[in-house]
């Protein structure tokens, strides 16, 4: 007897997806994507400054899930302007804030732009900020005109595999790509809350500063105070010990909001 898994995500459009709110060209894009993705939500219309955008959500079918290790829904932003502007990427953050963190993918996003040079512009822009999520860029024309079944997956493959998630040369200041150190992070924070001292030692480029930034993010999220002193700064290691001690006391006073004189 053959068992059929009814939970398999199939390419289609959800019955509550309101395609009628989109224009003719956008509906053509939606039809094209629905051949390989499950379009789950028609999203919303957004206004950023003087510009207007639309977004919707789509869920990967097993092929895309296995190829790129994405399980949750992906935000797709439609930019109908002939010139791509960097602020367009801010639309993803606006949309994501309106959605559950457990619902959408934070590492992967899809942009469909009417700018014929959008792919190059997006690629160049993301090179300047490697901590940005992966953005898969398409243009209106190429999605509407192509009938190649491999086109979508090849574009995903191109932008996923050109991003080395372990090639960060600077400490990670954001949460997105910080992973694998949660146990150590929690251990240090617990010692701090218990009034204990901690030391963090490691080789150069092993991630010590990234952990310090992660501790700061965690403490600030839960109302804690954090004071960081960069001893590599010439303004710090050029001080006499009593000058540095005075600066630490004054900075600590400012962080705590103390009125003690």
Whether 152 and 235 share a structural domain = no
Whether 101 and 138 share a structural domain = yes
Whether 28 and 150 share a structural domain = yes
The reply to whether 123 falls in a domain is: yes
The reply to whether 145 falls in a domain is: yes
The reply to whether 170 falls in a domain is: no
The reply to whether 176 falls in a domain is: no
Whether 41 and 136 share a structural domain = yes
pLDDT tens string 125-153: 988 877 688 899 999 999 988 888 899 99
CA–CA distance, 35 with 11 (Å, rounded to integer): 5
The reply to whether 6 falls in a domain is: no
pTM of the model: 0.67
| Contact assessment for residue 25 and residue 140, using Cβ atoms and an 8 Å cutoff | yes
| Contact assessment for residue 171 and residue 209, using Cβ atoms and an 8 Å cutoff | yes
pLDDT tens string 61-77: 999 998 888 889 999 99
| Contact assessment for residue 42 and residue 76, using Cβ atoms and an 8 Å cutoff | no
Whether 134 and 38 share a structural domain = yes
Whether 23 and 141 share a structural domain = yes
Whether 143 and 213 share a structural domain = no
- The sign of the torsion formed by the CA atoms of 77, 81, 84, 87 equals negative
Kind and range of the H or E element at 169?
Answer: none
Query: Maximum Cα–Cα distance for the chain, whole Å?
Result: 82
Give 107-125 as a DSSP string: SEEEEEES-TTHHHHHHHH
- Shortest CA distance to 13 belongs to which of 37, 29, 47? 37
pLDDT score at 131: 67
- In the predicted model, residues of the chain with pLDDT beneath 50 are 1-5, 168-169, 176-177
pLDDT score at 175: 52
Whether 222 and 98 share a structural domain = no
The reply to whether 168 falls in a domain is: no
Of 161, 193, 213, the last residue of a domain is: 161
pLDDT tens string 73-109: 999 999 999 999 999 999 999 999 999 878 999 889 9
Burial of 167 (C-beta count, 10 Å sphere; 0-12/13-18/19+): exposed
- Shortest CA distance to 17 belongs to which of 33, 36, 30? 30
The reply to whether 1 falls in a domain is: no
Domain limits for position 98? 12-161
For the chain, the average pLDDT equals 83
* Total domain count, the chain: 2
The reply to whether 25 falls in a domain is: yes
Whether 138 and 206 share a structural domain = no
Whether 85 and 157 share a structural domain = yes
Give how far Cα 109 sits from Cα of 42, 54, 105, 221, Å: 16, 14, 7, 25
Whether 30 and 110 share a structural domain = yes
CA–CA distance, 74 with 63 (Å, rounded to integer): 15
Whether 108 and 232 share a structural domain = no
3-state SS of the chain: helix, strand, coil percent to 5?
A: 40, 15, 45
Token pair 């989109």 is at which residue? 22
Q: What letter does residue 56 receive in the DSSP assignment?
A: E
């Amino acid at each position: 007897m053959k068992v059929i898994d009814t939970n398999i995500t199939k390419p289609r459009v959800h019955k509550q997806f309101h395609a009628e709110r989109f224009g003719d060209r956008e509906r053509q894009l939606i039809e094209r994507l629905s051949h390989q993705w499950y379009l789950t939500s028609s999203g919303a219309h957004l206004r950023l400054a003087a510009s207007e955008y639309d977004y919707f959500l789509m869920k990967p079918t097993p092929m895309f899930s296995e190829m790129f290790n994405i399980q949750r829904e992906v935000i797709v932003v439609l930019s109908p302007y002939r010139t791509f502007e960097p602020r367009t990427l801010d639309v993803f953050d606006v949309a994501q804030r309106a959605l559950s963190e457990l619902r959408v993918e934070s590492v992967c996003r899809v942009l469909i732009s009417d700018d014929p040079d959008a792919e190059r512009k997006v690629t160049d822009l993301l090179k300047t900020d490697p901590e940005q999520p992966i953005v898969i860029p398409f243009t209106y024309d190429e999605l509407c005109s192509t009938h190649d079944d491999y086109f979508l997956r090849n574009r995903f493959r191109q932008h996923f595999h050109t991003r080395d998630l372990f090639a960060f040369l600077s400490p990670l200041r954001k949460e997105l790509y910080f992973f694998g150190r949660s146990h150590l992070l929690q251990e240090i924070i617990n010692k701090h809350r218990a009034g204990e001292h901690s030391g963090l030692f490691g080789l150069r480029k092993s991630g010590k500063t990234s952990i310090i930034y992660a501790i700061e993010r965690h403490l600030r999220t839960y109302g804690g105070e954090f004071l960081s002193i960069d001893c590599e700064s010439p303004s710090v290691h050029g001080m006499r010990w009593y000058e540095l001690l005075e600066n630490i006391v004054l900075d600590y006073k400012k962080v705590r909001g103390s009125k003690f004189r």
